[in-house]
Amino acid sequence: MPKVHITTDNLTLDVKDGYALIDMCEEHDTSILFGCRDGACGACMVKIVKGAENISPIQDDEKDFLETMAAEPNERLACQCKVYGDVTLEVSE
């Protein structure tokens, strides 16, 4: 069972394989914020510290949006991510 460690909250959660980060955050109290839930607002941006290969691949729409936000290469939109293995992330500032 994959583990998601959120350094910002000092919290580690076990999730089902293929589980959406947004669903995980709805079930637990985390500091990841959500707005549009559709990859269009940037409220849910997180930095993947470890395990980027265990997150669903980035799609063109998310990539384009992150480029317009001048995001760092390890940043993703949590609302667009599913988890397939251990991941460590922190909330982007």
Q: Give the binding site for ligand FES (CB under 6 A).
A: 34-37, 39-44, 77, 79
Q: Which residues of 77-91 are buried (b: 16+ CB within 10 A; e: fewer)?
A: bbbbbbbbeebbbbb
User: How many CB atoms sit inside 10 A of residue 22's CB?
Assistant: 17
Whole-number minimum distance, CB 93 to ligand FES, in Å? 16
Closest to ligand FES by CB, 2 vs 62, is: 62
For 25, the 3-state DSSP assignment is helix
Whole-number minimum distance, CB 33 to ligand FES, in Å? 8
Whole-number minimum distance, CB 39 to ligand FES, in Å? 5
Distance between CA atoms of residues 68 and 89, nearest Å: 21
Closest to ligand FES by CB, 41 vs 58, is: 41
Closest to ligand FES by CB, 20 vs 52, is: 20
